[in-house]
Structure 1
Amino acid sequence: MRLLILVLCSLLTLGQVAQAQVRPFDDIVASGALRVAVYENFPPYSFQQDGQPRGVDVELAQKLADSQGLKLELLWIAAGEKLDDDLRNFIWKGHYLRPEVLADVMLRVPYDRNYAFKRNELGELVNERVVMFAPYQRECWQVAHDTRRLKEVPSVAVFGYHPIGVELESVPSFYMSSVFGGRMSRNTRHYPSPPQAFAAMREGKVDAVMAMRGEIDWLLHEAHDPQLKAAANAYPEMGRQQWDIGMAVHESNRQLAYALEGGLEELIGSGELAAIYARYGLRYEVPELYEGEVQAQTHGE
């Protein structure tokens, strides 16, 4: 029994040593580096090409670090089953495989009041230890089509007759399989990722692809094929069709959030952020929170 108690105490001590620690703003500045969490293998937002980090989130992270006079330290993360898991693992608690490592800030987090104040079945806030702030991109759903087989997309109803590729277990997957009483489900093809669905379109296996606008813009940009085009249509019965993407920090690190928000306002107002998106072939739409900032810059205020 005494040996068992000693072993349990040792394990508890190790757990305390490995416990992740949130770095206060002063400690971040003193370290000389800003640790930013970005998703791995997620083009055009964050990925590696020829061994070098690339993507709009990677370039934004560098600009944010520059705005604070810090070096950038990227923390590449794999997406969990839910965003709540990612916030827990990399912002406030730590992942069980590397519990001592936390990011100072995480990118590509929904800037949504309902999500930020979501409660569990006990009525407790799910993300009470997280502050979500600074929306930097407006995202929406987009269809791309091959005009050689589908000249135009006047309505999503055409996919009752033309096959369309979607990512497995995604919003487009559910939508195309269920809208209009499921009439398009027989023509909905599922793939592990948007790039694979896009490749299937180029091979003639499907006539169109539906994914996030940023992903579609990037894939069209990389394809260099004028016969592949983005459709201009809405999605009946879908509900919310656009949303803002922002950042997240630990709730105790609001000083860092204020500093980064100031840096982001300058990037948006100067047009630098839009230029980053343009380099990857992406359309940039300013989030509602910062529309006034852009208007002020435009009028020289």
Structure 2
Amino acid sequence: MNAFGMNAFGMTALPTRRQLLSFAAAALAAGVLPRRAGARPLDDVVAAGRLMVAVYRDNPPFSHRKGGALVGVDVDLARAIAGRLGVGVEFMELTAGEAVSDDLRNAVWRGPVVGGGVADVMMHVPYQKEFGLRNPEAVLFGPYQREGFALARNPMRMTQPMLASLPDEPVGVEIDSIPDFYLLGAFGGRLRERLVHYMTIPEAVEALVKGDVAAVVATQSQVEAALGDRAAGFPITPVTFPGMMASSWDIGMAVKENSRDLAYAVGDAVTALLEDGTLPEIFRKHGVTHNAIPVE
């Protein structure tokens, strides 16, 4: 789970002293560390015939290992984008840090402190104006999915798809997730003793299927992908968290600030993939509903 500025769910959070110190250290280090291979503008990417794309490690259904192969929505989308640009694609697997700002630094504009290059494009970046303004070294663009929270339930044990009507039965959540933190204190804390923590959403969903819990609260994409063909027996309903700034957010991409022409080209590619049906088909392949960004 990320914390400073935007967490893994794209929600705004206040910085801790430790996070502020780490950012100050990073700012000082930026002036003294040796230069690394930089992100490239469009012409350099085309000339090299290769697009380097950063994806999160262990982030199903968007990017994860299955049978040793890198798979997921973001992986297939990156391949489709590279195809539109007429280049090959390589992947940089990124371990999520404490903050998405850290991930942007490591993936697209400076590189890891321990050394190594950066990617041309980073996938699965929260697309929010305020967050972008706090990270001027990167350009956020191309939102391709609207994400939100959802409730999956056993309809025999939970008849109403509302958080306020959660039954006096176990409810599964991923440990240290936004649903975990929210439900611990929601409704006067009456759900605290009924929360069952799991390391991953697939584990929580398996517990739902086996009858160990009556419901699971997580992001919609995680729940849909984990249930797969079994979703017919366990209805999935979008939910909001009253009192929070937002219960939905947009997922987009990022490039280094000097690679705006690459961002334009990649953004155009995503638009074309949406218009010809490729983008929703990629989501469908991985068992996820594609929620397009409304035109404002």
Same fold (TM over 0.5): yes
Query: What's 2:251 paired with?
Result: 245
Q: Is the 8 A contact 2:174 2:198 kept in 1?
A: yes
Cα distance change, pair 77–154 in 1 and its aligned pair in 2 (3 A)? closer
Are the equivalent residues in 2 in contact too, given 1:143–1:209 (CA < 8 A)?
yes
Corresponding residue number in structure 2 for 1:134: 142
The one of 131, 139, 144 aligned to 1:115? 131
Does structure 1 residue 170 correspond to structure 2 residue 187? no
Matched residue, 1:61: 78
Between the aligned partners of 1:143 and 1:225, the Cα distance in structure 2 is: 12
Alpha-carbon offset, residue 278 of structure 1:
1.1
Percent identity between matched residues is: 37
Match of 2:119 in 1: 103
Counterpart amino acid of residue 207 in structure 1:
A
1:120-164 Cα distance to aligned partner (Å, 9 max, x none): xxxxxxx110100010001000111123433x2342123351221
CA distance in 2, matches of 1:200, 1:94: 39
The residue matched to 1:253 in structure 2 has which SS? helix
- 1:38 aligned residue (25, 39, 55): 55
- Displacement of 1:186 in angstroms is 1.5
Runs of 4+ in 1 over 4 A off after TM superposition: none
Q: Secondary structure at the match of 1:252?
A: helix
Structure 2: runs of 5+ lacking an equivalent: 1-31
Give unpaired runs (5+ residues) of structure 1.
Answer: 1-13, 119-126, 293-301
User: Does structure 1 conserve the Cα–Cα contact (< 8 Å) formed by 2:58 and 2:65?
Assistant: yes
**Post-superposition offset of 1:232:** 5.0
Partner of 2:287: 281
Pairwise CA distance, 1:36: 0.4
- The aligned counterpart of 2:92 is 75
Residue matched to 2:7: none
Q: 255-264 or 180-189, which moves further after superposition?
A: 180-189
- For residue 181 of structure 2, what is the amino acid of its counterpart? F
Give the partner amino acid of 2:130.
N
Structure 2 counterpart of 1:227: 233
Q: CA deviation at 1:78?
A: 0.9
**Deviations, residues 5-47 of structure 1 (Å, cap 9, x unaligned):** xxxxxxxxx953x634222322211111000001112111011
Residues in 1 aligned to 2:60 and 2:172: alpha-carbon distance in whole angstroms? 18
SS state of the match for residue 252, structure 2?
A: strand
1:236 aligns with 2:242: yes
Q: Which residue, out of 190, 194, 203, partners 2:201?
A: 194
Residue deviations 1:230-283, cap 9 Å, x none?
Answer: 135544334411111100000010010011011011111222101111112211
Contact 1:159 1:187 in 2 (8 A): no
| TM-score under structure 2 length normalisation | 0.84
Letter in 1 for 2:132: A
- Residues 50-75 of structure 1, C-alpha deviation per residue, up to 9 Å, x if partnerless? 22221111110001101110001111
- 2:39 touches 2:255 (CA, 8 Å); kept in 1? no
Q: Distance in 2 between matches of 1:197 and 1:88?
A: 32
Partner letter of residue 108 of structure 1?
A: H
* Cα distance in 2, alignment partners of residues 89 and 260 from structure 1: 20
What is the CA–CA distance in structure 2 between the aligned matches of 1:246 and 1:140, rounded to whole Å?
14
Change (3 A) 1:225 1:110: closer
TM-score normalised by length of structure 1? 0.82
Query: Which has the higher Rg, Structure 1 or Structure 2?
Result: 1
Amino acid at match of 2:139: V
Q: Which amino acid aligns with 1:62?
A: R
Which of residues 157, 165, 190 is equivalent to 1:149?
157
Aligned residue type for 1:142: A
- Whether the aligned pair in 2 keeps the contact of 1:148 and 1:227 (CA below 8 Å) is no
